[in-house]
Amino acid sequence: MLQSLLIWSVLGFVAGMLAKLIMPGRQGINPITTVLLGIIGSVIGGYLGSLLGIGDASGSFSLKGIAVAVGGALLLMYVWRLLFGKKG
């Protein structure tokens, strides 16, 4: 469990950077927040992916694992922008 969490955290670092590049528009998120959202989103994506059977949290680096991590980071960045983004 701890090893998987650590690997999803490392994947999250990369996923946060990739998600920021993929997400359209200006996010207004500083680099540290981007990394933190990427790590948290990656862990969430890994957990949801394992529940849905589209990825697993076994701690292996794979294209599917990176895709699930980036998906989780994108989802979390989208929610962040909805909650804390500039209005108007």
Write the CB contacts of 84 (distance below 8 Å, at least 6 apart in sequence).
none
Provide the 3-class DSSP secondary structure of residue 82: helix
Token pair recorded at residue 14: 């990369």
pTM above 0.85, yes or no: no
pLDDT of 44 reads 83
Residue 9 C-alpha from the chain's centroid: 9
DSSP letter string, 43-85 = HHHHHHHHHHTS---S----HHHHHHHHHHHHHHHHHHHHHHS
Return the SS3 of 39.
Answer: helix
Ordered mean pLDDT values, 10 residues apiece, the chain (88 residues): 73 83 76 84 81 66 78 87 74
